[in-house]
Amino acid sequence: MCYIAIVILPIVQAGDPVLRAPARPLSLEEIQSTAIQQLIADMRETMRAAPGVGLAAPQVGLGLQLAVIEDAPEYHANATPAELAERERQVVPFHVIINPVLTLEAGEPVEFFEGCLSVDGWMALVARAVAVRVEALDENGRDVRITARGWHARILQHEIDHLHGTLCVDRMDPRTLSSHANYSKLWRGRSVTEVRAGLHALK
């Protein structure tokens, strides 16, 4: 299929109503249309340009149950082997989820700092399930079943939240909210226990 020129789309920021409205499912006919195939290509390049590891259609102003995900090797360059291991973070090839249904696996949630392209410049500790299952359609409208752990599971939960009008700030510990600059300066490389101890000491 031929695409028109790729467009880097504006990313909608918190406060826009589209981020709070449940997105609608896509039909097979819509998925296979030139318009949606073009949107997927544009979202892929918008995500990469940001850069980010996921992008949902509401984040570009469209209330559709569609998200793109990719955790590329270059995004791991600034993380230590210990950080990657703690987060169970591995390379995730580009993939598309449409009309996803999320199932959380049993187990204690884990907390890590999490950011969002639609809450630009801010991060906070967010508790997420360690493992998930997702049933969805891919970019061709074919059934896919994804089983994921660690960081991939976190990305899936984050992006599927967007499709239901939920932002990571709804799930965060508000006391841990931090600018990206202060996260890099004060908390990067520290365990959640150390972060909480540091914040508790300020009370």
Which residues, 6 or more positions from 101, have their beta carbon under 8 angstroms from its beta carbon? 134, 135, 136
DSSP state letters, 103-142:
EEPSS--EEEEEE-TTSTTEEEEEEE-SEEEEEEE-TTS-
Classify domain 17-198 at the CATH superfamily level.
Answer: Peptide deformylase (3.90.45.10)
Confidence of residue 198 (pLDDT cuts 50, 70, 90): confident
| Mean pLDDT, rounded, for 60-67 | 98
Name the band, by pLDDT with cuts 50, 70 and 90, for residue 197.
confident
Tell me the average pLDDT of the chain: 94
pLDDT number for residue 100: 98
Q: What is the pLDDT of residue 64?
A: 98
Q: Examine the residue annotation and report whether 135 is marked as an active-site residue of this protein.
A: no
CA 182 → CA 4, 34, 42, 152, 179, distances in Å?
41, 43, 32, 25, 5
Q: Does the pLDDT of residue 200 top 80, yes or no? A: no
What average pLDDT does this structure show over 127-142? 98
Instruction: Inform me whether the pLDDT recorded for 193 exceeds 90.
Output: no
Prior bond to 25 cis, omega within 30?
A: no
Q: If pLDDT is split at 50, 70 and 90, which confidence band does 202 have?
A: low
Asked whether the predicted pLDDT for residue 203 surpasses 60, the reply is no
Mean pLDDT of 38-61: 98
Q: Which residues of 75-94 are buried (b: 16+ CB within 10 A; e: fewer)?
A: bbeeeeeeeeebbbbeebee
User: Tokens 């410049």 correspond to what residue?
Assistant: 121
- Tokens 């449409």 belong to which residue? 98
- Measured CA to CA, the distance from residue 64 to residue 57 in angstroms comes to 6
Give the pLDDT score at 189. 84
Q: Kindly tell me the sign of the dihedral angle through the C-alpha atoms of 144, 147, 152, 158.
A: positive
Of 70, 114, 139, 159, which residue is the catalytic one?
159
| Residue 2 confidence (pLDDT) | 55
CA distance linking residue 71 with residue 79, whole number of Å: 13
d(CA 24, CA 99): 8
Q: How far apart are CA 137 and CA 142, in angstroms?
A: 5
Closest listed residue to residue 177, CA positions, set 159, 195, 189: 195
Q: What is the mean pLDDT of residues 88-111?
A: 96
pLDDT at 109 over 80: yes
Mean per-residue pLDDT for 101-128?
A: 96
Q: Is the pLDDT of residue 130 over 60?
A: yes
The first and second tokens of residue 112, run together, are: 């890590």
